Structure 1
Amino acid sequence: MKLTSILASAAAVGLSAIGMAGAQQTQPACSSIYTRKELLSLTSSEWSLIKSIVAAMQRDGWFPWFAYLHNQWFGSIHGNSQFFPFHRRFVYEWERVGKMYNAGYFQPYWDEMRDYRVPASSQVLTANWVGGNGQGANWCVANGNQASWTMTYPNSHCFSRNFGNNGNPSSWYSPETINSFIQSDTTMTQFRPDIEYTLHGVVHINIGGDMLQGYSPNDWIFMLHHANLDRLWWQWQQNGRLWTMDGPNAGGGTVSLTTNIAYFNEPVRTVMQLGYGSMCYQYASNPLSRRALDSTMDERLAVALPKDVLAQWFPDTAKSEIANITDTVVNSINAVAASVSNAVSQITDFVEAQPFKSIPYPARLTDGWIKMHNFNTADVRKTEQRSRDLIDVLNKAKYRSPY
């Protein structure tokens, strides 16, 4: 019996219905829901369909249109709480256009955290998928689904990528770091910069080329990347924060559920809950092997970190530990105490038997990227340092990451 199986059962006992959902939701439930899948989990037929539609969208001028929109509204949708609502609506709009070509189109996501140690070695960045680094003086991309394309916005140029660190991008953010944000951040004022100043930025910077510009939607990786960030926002929302929206708006004021989304002029409320209104999609769970890694991560964190440290960085994991299960559940667990003890012992033995491999520090945002977005440098560096502090804690504890 695995510890996570016991904890899942215990958690189910304590779950309560989200009473706020009915009160906050004013849109009809979707009659049907389609699924956004992780890119590498696509079947060959799904990938063929998506590639053909993406190529048709380039042929018909949709890439420059989306690149133009993003560039024109750039200052209003970064560095403030418009970031998540705008990009959710923006990626949905791209997906809606794709469905005009074939109703079977959906926007996949790239789970970049799984590739954080050596990003350039990702299967995603190979000829069979989205292609790799550009070549030559203009860093033109010669393979992948956008091979040898000519982009027309903001001027005619070859589609380009220029990987950071001389073609070998530095590590970006680990699943543990993003998991910590999802568990510990309670407001959009916290969560938005924790994602925007970390995973969001380093992927754009280290892919480079068109992805480094305000017109970054020229690179289809933009859609993969922002679908993944949207997925992470949805995970955070489902952690008791479904209707949480606060923090600054561009040019002053505060973003709330009634604030209009930049460009789209639709209330933020309309994109907050997947499965309602126009947001008729869901995210597929990661493939079985990756779900197992996520499960193992929580088990290893619980074994490696002292309870007070675990509670600081991973409060949900700390609350789900056997020692902290509510009295209501404890009574039912007494009957299986021996099994629980044995499971915990087996997990501890297994974790401690794994080789220790330290988690590397992730790449930092460049001064140019910070200036381009009009970020406060001190705020960015504070967020980056918090992430490094977590890595120090994990490495000091000899935490053995499954990734």
Structure 2
Amino acid sequence: MKLSAALLSATAIGLSAVQVINAQQNQPACSNVYTRKELLSLTSSEWSLYKSILTAMQRDGWFAWFAYLHNTWFGSIHGQSQFFPFHRRFVYEWEKVGKQYNSAFAQPYWDEMRDYRTPASSQVLSSNWLGGNGQGNNRCVQNGVQGGWTMTYPNNHCFSRSFSNNGNPNSWYSPEYIESVIQRSADMTALRPGIEYSLHGIVHLDIGGDMSQRSSPNDWIFMLHHANIDRLWWQWQANRNHMWTMDGPNTDGSAISLNSNIVYFDEPIRNVMQLGYGQMCYQYGSNPIRRRSLSASATQKISSVLPQGVLSEWFPDTAKSPMAIAAIDPAMEKSGRPIPYPGTLTDDWISKQNLDRAAVKRVEADARSFVDAMKNAKYNSPY
């Protein structure tokens, strides 16, 4: 059995969300909206420009500054509802600095779900792009855009990565599971841990080195990763009628609201809620370089992609709209494989990040239950 094209369109293919105008918006519409692209869709000239900008930002101390900010405010921006708005504003601030070097700069994203089965083999981690695992006792990275760099925060050290599992990280989270989290999350209280403790955490942990520290913005993967996390939040906001949903605990334990200030930036959360307004003058582009794509002719309606009970439990939105289901290209049928169990966060990492261990384990158990349900339904993923 295969999931529909419509089901995976938001996450697996990366279609940009539709902007929604809402009366709660207090920011003016942007006169010019630029696009954040998937990293590997950059042209060679764009990538050459971006590499020169990143080198200049390192020379001028911006990597150290953003690593310092993230470390300083770490406890206030994880494990509660500041997580999404803070990181949206944080990545935008980084992007704004990049634009000071060249206005054409727009922070790309890495659709890690494309590479979830074998992360270490991702083209993103090749020498032509971000470079791979670190080497030697200090796990120094020698290739890629940051190869051979010396980072200056919190002290002088070689730029490092230390991939988990002896350099071959276990599988990350599938596009199907992340789509399921998005469909099943009725509020931020559900969405935030569902994303933060799954895809967000495992990428930080498995890349290791600088990326696994509180000063993780030392690794540009941080910005690519959080742009992708932001893209998923935006899809939930715009496609699930949650444009103005903000709930859960704030830094002091009180209830967060749209009028709560974003940590460090001292401006209300409502200012960053809607892309295309105020300072948030960007959108997310589609991902045109997936290893497998849906056939243009794959539009035949089918009525039972998964048993109704499984569909209703894990993909409630899709279950409510059976007419939206489309068939999968036969070529993809042949290449499908069962979804593997994702890797888990270590107790040591959970402790160092000061996360709620019980909450993390609930998310991991949910992900394993999802994989079991897909296996029992004989579902094979084309991704």
Give TM-score, length-normalised by structure 2: 0.90
Aligned residues: 369
SS in 1 for 2:26: coil
Q: CA shift at 1:402, angstroms? A: 1.0
What's the Cα RMSD here?
2.6
Letter in 2 for 1:202: I
Match in the other structure for 1:90: 90
Residue 381 of structure 1 corresponds to: 361
Q: Is the 8 A contact 2:298 2:328 kept in 1?
A: no
Secondary structure in 1 matching 2:283: strand
Paired with 1:224 and 1:167, the residues of 2 have a C-alpha distance of: 21
Q: Is the 8 A contact 1:300 1:399 kept in 2?
A: no
Change (3 A) 1:165 1:298: farther
Which residue is equivalent to 2:269?
268
Query: Do 1:302 and 1:317's aligned partners in 2 also have CA atoms closer than 8 Å?
Result: no
Change (3 A) 1:128 1:375: same
CA distance in 2, matches of 1:310, 1:299: 19
The structure with higher relative contact order (CA 8 Å, sep 6+) is 2
The structure-2 alpha-carbon separation of the partners of 1:294 and 1:211, relative to structure 1 and needing over 3 Å to count, comes to farther
Q: Which has the larger radius of gyration?
A: 1
CA distance in 2, matches of 1:167, 1:198: 20
Cα displacement (A) at 1:90? 0.2
What pairs with 1:239-278 in structure 2 (closer than 5 Å)? 239-278=240-279
**1:115-142 deviation line (CA, Å, top 9, x unaligned):** 0000000000000000000000100000
Which consecutive segments of 4 or more residues in structure 1 shift more than 6 A?
294-302
Q: CA deviation at 1:300?
A: 11
SS of alignment partner, residue 22 of structure 2: helix
Match of 1:102 in 2: 102
Give TM-score scaled by structure 1 length: 0.86
How big is each residue's C-alpha offset from its partner over 1:214-269, in whole Å with a ceiling of 9 and x where there is no partner? 00000000000000000000001012111110001123101110000000001000
- Counterpart-to-counterpart distance in 1, 2:271 and 2:297: 36
Shift of the alpha carbon at 1:65?
0.3
Deviation at 1:297, TM superposition (A): 11
Residue pair 1:133, 1:141 contacting (<8 A) in 2 also: yes
Q: Does 1:202 align with 2:182?
A: no
Is it true that 1:78 corresponds to 2:78 in the alignment? Answer: yes
Amino acid at match of 1:399: Y
Query: What is the CA–CA distance in structure 2 between the aligned matches of 1:159 and 1:296, rounded to whole Å?
Result: 47
Q: Deviations over 1:5-54 (max 9, x none)?
A: 9xx9xxxxxxxx998x4321001000101000000000001111111101
> Take 2:295 and 2:200, find their aligned partners in 1: how far apart are those partners?
21
Q: Distance in 1 between matches of 2:363 and 2:298?
A: 23
Aligned AA (1:255)? I
- Equivalents in 2 of 1:290, 1:50: separation in Å? 24
Contact 2:337–2:381 (8 Å) recurs in 1: yes
> Is the 1:41–1:287 contact (alpha carbons within 8 Å) kept by the matching residues of 2?
yes
Amino acid at match of 2:34: Y
Preserved CA contact (<8 Å) 1:285 1:291: no
Mapped partners of 1:152, 1:297: distance in 2: 52
> Within 2, Cα distance between the matches of 1:49 and 1:140?
25
Q: Rate the CA distance shift 1:206–1:298 in 2: closer, same or farther, 3 A.
A: farther
Structure 1's 214 and 296: CA in aligned 2 closer, same or farther, altered over 3 A? farther
Task: Summarize deviations over 1:153-193 as a string: whole Å, max 9, x none.
Answer: 00000000000001001111000000101111010000000
How far off its partner does 1:366 sit? Answer: 1.0
Show the counterpart of 1:23: 23
Paired residues of 2:162 and 2:209 also in contact (CA < 8 A): yes
Q: Do structure 1's residue 392 and structure 2's residue 375 form an aligned pair?
A: no
Distance 1:66 1:314 in 2: 37
1:56 and 2:51 aligned: no
Distance 2:147 2:261 in 1: 37
Counterparts of 1:109 and 1:275 in 2: how far apart (Å)?
Answer: 17
Instruction: Give the corresponding residue for 1:12.
Output: none
Check the 8 A contact 2:295/2:329 in 1, yes or no.
no
Q: Contact (CA 8 Å) 1:163, 1:208: kept in 2 or not? A: yes
Q: CA deviation at 1:395?
A: 1.2
Mean Cα displacement is larger for which, 364-373 or 225-234?
A: 364-373
